[in-house]
Copies of this chain bind each other. A is one copy, B any other.
């Protein structure tokens, strides 16, 4: 009944944000490309990916807004790179999230009831 407005922690929002950026295979593929080639022009990626040019721009925007990549515009070309600091940060956040999902004692089946 205590009608406390519950929201989520900063950390939970942050994880969700990074996860959202990775939540489409083409965006994972983009990061793979950038990770392997250091930097790529939009056109280089467009050649490798099975999507229209305009769609690629949209996905790049999502990754950029999430902070995982950065773009350097020098028209008519645009060069994209991984944003190393944030990329590292994302990796650490996920690492921490997944490590030791449980440190408590277990029943025989490895399960504990709660409350």
Contact = CB atoms under 8 A, between A and B. Distances in A.
Interface of A: 5-9, 12-13, 15-16, 19-29, 31-32, 34-35, 37-41, 44, 48-50, 79, 81-82, 84, 87-88, 90-91, 94-95, 97-99, 101-102, 104, 106, 110-115
Nearest to A45: B114
A29 B12 contact: yes
Copies of this chain, count: 2
Contacts of A111: 38-39, 81
A87 B113 contact: no
B82 A102 contact: yes
Contacts of A9: 29
Nearest to A19: B22
Given A7-B50, A114-B37, A25 B44 contact: no
Contact of A95 (B12, B95, B104): B95
